[in-house]
Amino acid sequence: MPIGALRPFSYPRRAILIEQGHPVLGVFVICQGWIKVAQRTLDGKIAGLDVLSPGELIGARELLADEPLFDLYAQTLCETRIIWVQRTSLLDLLHRRPDFALKVSQRVAQTAGFIQHRFVQMLQARLEGQIAYLLSYLHEKQAFVQIKGGDLQTIAQLRFATSDARRSEPMASLD
């Protein structure tokens, strides 16, 4: 690999390494420090995907998938040192060294699996939060929801309010 293909850089805390939507010109190898990888949603919110540490790669998935643009952004969480590897040089190395290509592919697949798992967890937490909000709202407005306990993992018991409160019976129990 030509010397010009590897470029070391140092960044201060909170530096943006990658902007979402910028072209994929290479891969970053983290040598020292921590980097937050996230995506900005259409409504401007930030969805954190992962925190990467030394030895991990940023941009390898996009490079291997031959994507022209980054779909994430990366920001340093502390003083960070990275090595930037030029796209063409890395692709050449992957072609010449199948053993290295396999290791990079495995790491990319592991990271993708981890992010998929985190995404499902975030969706579940969001759904639980929405259900808790709905139950709380209905309890305040309609008085036919009775919540036992104090957190999202508690049992919520639905009751229909009838004209005779003594005769109300449980409709369902959410575990």
pLDDT for the residue 144: 46
pLDDT for the residue 122: 67
The position carrying tokens 């259900």 is: 131
CATH of 3-96, one of 2.60.120.10, 2.60.40.1220, 3.10.20.90, 3.60.15.10: 2.60.120.10
pLDDT for the residue 2: 55
Q: For residues 173 and 33, what is the distance between their CA atoms, to the nearest angstrom?
A: 48
Nearest to 37 by CA among 124, 122, 115: 115
Nearest to 38 by CA among 13, 55, 17: 17
pLDDT for the residue 32: 95
The per-type count for the chain, helices as H runs and strands as E runs, is: 3, 11
Torsion angle of alpha carbons 54, 15, 61, 124, nearest 10°?
A: 90
Answering whether pTM is above 0.85, one says: no
Q: For residues 166 and 172, what is the distance between their CA atoms, to the nearest angstrom?
A: 17
Give tens-digit pLDDT for 22-71.
999 999 999 999 999 988 888 888 877 788 889 888 988 888 888 888 88
Give tens-digit pLDDT for 114-170.
777 777 776 777 777 667 666 665 555 544 444 445 443 443 333 333 333 444 444
Q: In a 3-state reduction of DSSP, which class is residue 42?
A: coil
Task: Report helix angle 98-142 to 87-96, nearest 10.
Answer: 120
Cα separations (Å) of 89 from 5, 7, 92, 157, 162? Answer: 6, 12, 5, 61, 73
As annotated, the residues of the chain forming the CATH 2.60.120.10 domain(s) are: 3-96
Instruction: Give the distance, in angstroms, between the CA of residue 46 and the centroid of all CA atoms in the same chain.
Output: 10
Q: Cβ contacts of residue 107 below 8 Å, gap of 6+?
A: 56, 57, 60
**Confidence class for position 4, pLDDT limits 50, 70, 90:** low
